Each structure stands twice: as structure tokens, then as C-alpha cells.
Amino acid sequence: MTPLPVMLPVALPDYAAAAAERLDAQARAYFDGGAADELTLAANLQAWRQIGLQSRVLRPMAGAHTRVELLGRTLAHPVLLAPVAYQRLAHPDGEIATAQAAAALQAGMVLSTQSSVPVETVAHIVRRDPESGPLWFQVYIQPDRDFTLALVRRAEAAGCEALVLTVDAPVSGARDRERRAGFRLPPGVRAVHLEGLRLPPAPALRPGQSALFDGLLADMPTWDDVAWLVGQTRLPVLLKGITHPDDAGLARQVGAAGLIVSNHGGRTLDTLPATAELLPRIVAAADGLPVLVDGGIRRGTDVLKALGLGARAVLVGRPQVHALAVAGAQGVAHMLRLLRDELEIAMALTGCRCLAEAASALSPRR
């Protein structure tokens, strides 16, 4: 087990700074980079800072708690671990350590399709603790639909409680930082769930044709494929990557159980608005579907703001791999504890006894 550093981080940015010294250049580029000029990456962070809170004093706080209801479960707090691929780039234990931390801190965890540890192993760790949060499995609809369905069946058999279908990345963004670093997976790190996946052969292109428009996009999923997936599983399916109100409405029509407002951490289309900016419009369009949000969550105050804007819960991505790189399972657990402690402080100082009252903590916008 990796020990915590001598100078214990006191906030999530401390873990980011410490991880920058431990990760090699390629891993840093993969985990920390965004698309193109990384404007959306920066906007995600800045947007939460621009939302103010207002203090309330002398409020009765007996019985205060951070519990939330989500997909039929009562969660101890509203912070989940987002799906992050190839976590063994950050630490030899990878997703094993992340799962141990999530279970210890009663945090929900979304395991990536591109995990470096099998879902069965992660599920075994989570299930050992009856107080642990839920384990969800992230999936992409692959060109080989049978392969996609086989992954779904593995997640079901392992005991996952929901599927998170990522819909905003039919192709990778223009990740300049990764390309400048010459990113390649090192030996021993691989996407274990994608072994055996056969991609369709690349078409022969004439000069002037596009590999994207004349090739790859022909097999990209559509709303019909989402409806197919929803109909193939007993698990609730949440759609991750919703940034437009019209797509929230379409998600309802095809039977989605929830939405995750996400711009993929600024890794796909640069200049997309920050998720904090998008959240209220998606909540309104969701018409009662549970809405979660990720992107730039670094403080407990950010969590309170997100719930005040209508989110049911939040997910954190980069902070988990920063903490993982610094101190393994202990680091991720400590990172989650820091967020929850900050959330409780923010609730106490704004007079919120429960997160259903979070909207009252928001400062009126000018």
C-alpha cells in the first residue's frame, strides 16, 4: 500500500501538484490534457468559481446530513468517481486501489470500459463492504453490437447496478498535448474489457477522401442504438455527455434512466460551454430524470453549487487519478474525504441541513 506523502495534501489542487511530479510526461499528457487549446478544460474549473454562495446564520442544524437518493439507493454523500481509463498508468494497483477507496468512503464508482482491471475484480472489492456505494459500468456502443452486448452481460453478472453509456465521443478530440508527448500505452497497461474486439476493416480511400467522413462515421451509434441498448438490459442506463436540452428530451424518449452533464472533461470538442453553465438548462429539459454533472469539481463548495443548480450528484475524474498517483488507495480515499469534509463545512455555513436545501445556498445572480 502506498503511504500518504509526508506533507499531507489539504485540498484537491495539492494532489494535482504532487501528481505532476510523480507521473511521467506521457501519463500527464493523457490524464491532464484536453482538446485543442484546452479552453473548455479551463472553463470547467472557472465556471464553478464564478457561482457565489450566501451565508445564513443561527439556523437549526441538528440532524444535518449529506445523503442523497439516486436510482433507488440512498447514498451517504453525492460524490461519485467518474470513469477514467487506464488507471495503471497512474499507479500499479490501478482500479483495484480506486475501488478500495470508493468502498471505504461509501462513494459510488463508475468503472471505465477502458479499465486496466476487469469488472469482476472491481466488483468483488466493492461487494465485500455492505456499506459501499454502487458500482456502475461505463460502456460505449461498439461497431460490433454483439461485443457490446457481451460487455453488458459481464457487467450484469458482476453485480453492477447501472450502465453509463458515453455518447459524446464517437471520435477522439484533437488532443494536442497527447500528440506532442507522443502518448502510447506502456507494456502491461491495456484495456482489458476490449480484448477480442474486432473493428471493421478500414475502407480503401482515394486521395482527397476523409478517413472520418468516408469511413469511421458510418458505424457511429445513433438514438436508435441507444434505444436498442436500453431494451437489452435490466439495468438502468444513464447517458453521459449530454450538453444540449434537446438531447435531454430525446434521452427521455428512448428510456434513459438518468443524464450526466459532461463535456468529457474538455477532451472532445474544445470551446464547449462549461458544465456548470449547461447544468440548469439540462435539468429543466430532463423533466424529472435524475441529472448528474462532472467537469471541474475540485471543492466541496463546487459540490454544493452543483446540487443547488439541480444536480442529484457529481462525479470527479482527474482528482481520483491525481490522488491515486500520489498515494494509491489511501490517496483516493483521502481525496474523497476532503471533498466530503468541505461539503459539510459549506452546508454548515450556508445553513443547509440537507442537500435538498442546496438551492437556498446559492447567491442571487446579478
DSSP 174-243: --HHHHHHT--PPTT---GGGTT--PPPPPP--TT--TTTTTGGGG---HHHHHHHHHH-SS-EEEEEE-
Q: Are 275 and 44 in contact (CB under 8 A)?
A: yes
* Domains identified in the chain, total number: 1
Q: At what angle do helices 119-127 and 95-104 cross, to 10 degrees?
A: 20
Residue 4 in domain: no
Q: Is 266 annotated as a binding residue?
A: no
Residue 193 in domain: no
Task: Determine whether 197 is exposed, middle or buried from the number of CB atoms within 10 Å of its CB (0-12, 13-18, 19+).
Answer: middle
Q: Are 163 and 238 in contact (CB under 8 A)?
A: yes
CATH number, domain with residue 297? 3.20.20.70
Residue 3 in domain: no
Task: Determine whether 149 is exposed, middle or buried from the number of CB atoms within 10 Å of its CB (0-12, 13-18, 19+).
Answer: middle
- Torsion sign across C-alpha atoms 36, 39, 42, 45: negative
DSSP 292: E
Ranges of H-type helices in 66-129: 95-104, 119-127
Q: Is 168 annotated as a binding residue?
A: no
The three-point CA angle 72-77-80 to 5° equals: 80
Q: Is 330 annotated as a binding residue?
A: no
Catalytic residue among 91, 264, 322, 334: 264
Residue 92 in domain: yes
Q: Map residue 173 onto helix, strand or coil.
A: coil
Give the per-residue pLDDT at 330: 98
Q: Map residue 261 onto helix, strand or coil.
A: strand
Q: Are 222 and 145 in contact (CB under 8 A)?
A: no
Q: Is 73 annotated as a binding residue?
A: no
The three-point CA angle 353-103-307 to 5° equals: 30
User: What residues pair up with 74 in beta bridges, in sequence order?
Assistant: 69
Q: Is 295 annotated as a binding residue?
A: yes
Q: Are 237 and 156 in contact (CB under 8 A)?
A: no
- Torsion sign across C-alpha atoms 345, 50, 36, 169: positive
Domain that holds residue 135: 12-51+64-181+219-358
Q: Is 351 annotated as a binding residue?
A: no
DSSP 361: G
Q: Is 186 annotated as a binding residue?
A: no
Q: Is 140 annotated as a binding residue?
A: yes
In DSSP notation, 295-320 reads: SS--SHHHHHHHHHTT-SEEEESHHH
Residue 200 in domain: no
Q: Which backbone phi and psi does 73 adopt, to 5 degrees?
A: -110, 145
How far apart (Å, rounded) are the C-alpha atoms in residues 44 and 47?
6
Q: Are 352 and 304 in contact (CB under 8 A)?
A: yes
How far apart (Å, rounded) are the C-alpha atoms in residues 222 and 19?
38
Q: Is 298 annotated as a binding residue?
A: yes
Based on the residue annotation, tell me whether 124 is a catalytic residue of this protein. Answer: no
C-alpha atoms less than 13 angstroms from C-alpha of 190 in its C-beta half-sphere: 8
Residue 320 in domain: yes
Of the candidates 181, 195, 184, 103, the one whose C-alpha atom is nearest the C-alpha of residue 144 is: 195
The three-point CA angle 203-209-210 to 5° equals: 80
Q: Which backbone phi and psi does 353 adopt, to 5 degrees?
A: -80, -25
Give the per-residue pLDDT at 26: 97
Q: Is 112 annotated as a binding residue?
A: yes
Residue 283 in domain: yes
Query: Residue-wise pLDDT tens for the chain (366 aa)?
Result: 666 665 789 999 999 999 999 999 999 999 999 999 999 999 999 999 999 999 999 999 999 999 999 999 999 999 999 999 999 999 999 999 999 999 999 999 999 999 999 999 999 999 999 999 999 999 999 989 999 999 999 999 999 999 999 999 888 889 999 999 999 999 999 999 999 887 767 667 777 666 666 666 667 899 999 999 999 999 999 999 999 999 999 999 999 999 999 999 999 999 999 999 999 999 999 999 999 999 999 999 999 999 999 999 999 999 999 999 999 999 999 999 999 999 999 999 999 999 999 999 999 874
16's grid cell: 494535482
Q: Is 240 annotated as a binding residue?
A: yes
How far apart (Å, rounded) are the C-alpha atoms in residues 26 and 319?
17
Residue 127 in domain: yes
